[in-house]
Amino acid sequence: MSYSRFLAVPIALFLSIVLYLLYGLLVNYTAARKTGLPLIVLPFDCGHPLWLIIDRKVAQLVRRLPFGSGTFTRFNWRGWEIWDRYRAHQQLGDAIFFVTPGKNYLQLCDAEAVSDIFQRRGDFPRPPESTEMLNIFGPNVGTTDGPQWQRHRKITASSFNEQVNERVWVESIQQSTDLIQYWSGRPSINSVAVDTRTVSLHVMSGAIFGKSYPFRGADQEIPASKEDSSSYGEALKLILDRCIPLVVLGRKNLNNPWLPKKLRELYHATLIFQEHMTEAYETEKKAMMRNDKLENNLMTSLVRASLANVEQTGSATGAHHEGLTEEE
């Protein structure tokens, strides 16, 4: 009798979850059907944090089953667009509704419609629950909306100038040249993904912070004496490799002692990366206030644009702050 009661609890919980998902799916399907657009019904919410962690593994498992080649394994996982390309729109049209238990998703393949949506930001605000996950290190141009987004965009847009583009070009040529030399000296290449990622990281480091690093291939030894710049590079690599759990769980939740070691290492990497970002920001800001000669990189441009915006708005409105905060 006690064993039956013990099983009753998880069974009741499972049935409650299933009924909740079915109810949400029915409500969203009814709403989407009124649009008259083609519908694709999916059992799980594509943007749910838990599903983002396990979607690929579940899809791979279902594909092995005799009935595993349906819409679920085709559309209900991250990155399906890369493999499906234009086929879904070729079959169903330029606008498709994905119906899930959580919410409905409109998939567009019409340049004019997409452009109109971006121009009418007030009529099509971004859902805060979707962008909130990206506030890992603070608000940014990709997660803000309304007047705050306009302030971010004004400052960041002016930072992407020809001087920064030149730095990107120079770093890209240098890293690509070293990459070709490294590959040319090997009978076979089995590290394309790792090596090209290293090139991207080094170009980013040079363009954003003005720190240039020599290219090292996947099987080349790293010198034993590591400087802070190396720690920054390793931290950024770790963040990019494990960005999905970072976005889904949030940085603050990664420091729990009961979590796996890999997630706690990811939390430590975010601290190192933020320390380097803060240090670079403060260094550039102090150098600019001393009127020192500054390098052409993105961080310098951001600090310059932010301080210039503070001066402009301060002279026009008094003491009102319109620059970027340290967190931003």
Q: CA distances (Å), 131 to each of 24, 127, 142, 248, in order?
A: 22, 7, 7, 11
At residue 229, the pLDDT reads: 40
- Nearest residue to 41 via CA among 101, 85, 89: 101
In the chain, the largest separation of any two C-alpha atoms, in whole Å, equals: 81
Average pLDDT of the chain is 81
Characterize 3-33 residue by residue with b for buried, 16 or more Cβ atoms within 10 angstroms of its Cβ, and e for exposed. eeeeeeeeeeeeeeeeeebeebbeebbeebe
Higher-confidence residue: 63 or 134? Answer: 63
Is residue 226 pLDDT above 50, yes or no? no
Higher-confidence residue: 29 or 130? Answer: 29
User: pLDDT-derived band of residue 20, with 50, 70 and 90 as boundaries?
Assistant: very high
Is residue 93 pLDDT above 80, yes or no? yes
pTM of the model: 0.66
User: pLDDT-derived band of residue 227, with 50, 70 and 90 as boundaries?
Assistant: very low
User: pLDDT-derived band of residue 249, with 50, 70 and 90 as boundaries?
Assistant: confident
At residue 312, the pLDDT reads: 60
Lowest mean pLDDT among 12-26, 149-163, 285-299, 301-315: 301-315
User: pLDDT-derived band of residue 222, with 50, 70 and 90 as boundaries?
Assistant: low
User: pLDDT-derived band of residue 324, with 50, 70 and 90 as boundaries?
Assistant: low
Enter the tokens of residue 116.
Answer: 């109109």
